[in-house]
Structure 1
Amino acid sequence: MDILDAACPSRDVFVDLADKWALLMLLSLRERGVQRFSELQRSIGGISRKMLSQTLRTLERDGLINRSVDGRATPPLVQYALTDLGGEIAEETRVLCTWTHTRAAKVHEARVAYDRRNAPTAG
């Protein structure tokens, strides 16, 4: 397996997981547990309903989250939870999120320095 090769079968899985909304959704479900659609939307600031729906479908299709419907409730109670496989990747996502949290200031400093070096000169 060579994920850098476009023909690698794991490449499409990697692309699904590398999506910012997927990573944030996995983190939210890991940190907050089972959630309804509206709870997930509130927990992931800035995500639209359309993007939330698309990402949920992708992660469900990939076997990373489970969508359950309790039809006895009115309206039906729909909830989302991590599967065992989703829990595994959510744990790995936590490591990335921790690194990002602790290193964000350095990344922002690097961006400012880059922008200064590459700013168009008035002339």
Structure 2
Amino acid sequence: MENNLEKYKNTEGCPVRNVLDRLGDKWSILIIITLGEAGTLRFNQLSHSIGDISQKMLTVTLKNLEADGLVSRKIFPQVPPRVEYTLTPVGETLLNPILTLSEWALNNMPSILASRKQYLNQ
């Protein structure tokens, strides 16, 4: 058993830590879910769909997801420039696990909130 756990020891080389570090921010998963449901969206459409994300944070998060090969960005040469975002094939493979986690969170949130409340009242 111990030998199997060695794969998590190397901080820089651990794929789990690496991916969760990138996706564990406040916005990445919401962006992936939104693009997965909508297909292709322009920047403002994506911003309005998510709601309370700042333009700067949306830009930074999209650049990170693009750098990881999860989101593609297409620029149309027109005035004003039109930019569209969509999930890449690799990003699409991440959609089902994220939707499963999202469904789990929705189903278990009442229990989690009750547990937190009970813990705080101890």
- Structure 1 and Structure 2 fold alike (TM over 0.5): yes
User: TM tier, shorter chain?
Assistant: 0.7 to 0.9
Alignment correspondent of 2:112: 107
SS in 2 for 1:47: coil
Shift of 1:33: 1.4
SS in 2 for 1:24: helix
Which of 2, 12, 15 in structure 1 is aligned with 2:7? 2
Indicate the larger mover: 61-70 or 99-108: 99-108
Q: Which has the higher helix share?
A: 2
Q: Does 1:89 align with 2:94?
A: yes
Identity level (%) = 34
Which of 55, 60, 63 in structure 1 is aligned with 2:61? 55
Instruction: With the length of structure 1 as denominator, give the TM-score of the two structures.
Output: 0.86
Which of 43, 51, 55 in structure 1 is aligned with 2:49? 43
Q: CA RMSD in A?
A: 1.6
| Structure 1 residue ranges without an equivalent (≥5) | 118-123
Q: Deviations over 1:77-115 (max 9, x none)?
A: 100000000001122110011111111111111111111
Question: Could you tell me how far apart the structure 2 residues matched to 1:22 and 1:65 are?
Answer: 10
Question: Could you tell me how far apart the structure 2 residues matched to 1:59 and 1:82 are?
Answer: 9
State the one-letter code of the partner of 2:20. Answer: F
Segments ≥4 residues shifted beyond 6 Å: none
Aligned length: 116
Question: Could you tell me how far apart the structure 2 residues matched to 1:67 and 1:60 are?
Answer: 7
Contact 2:12/2:18 (8 A) holds in 1: no
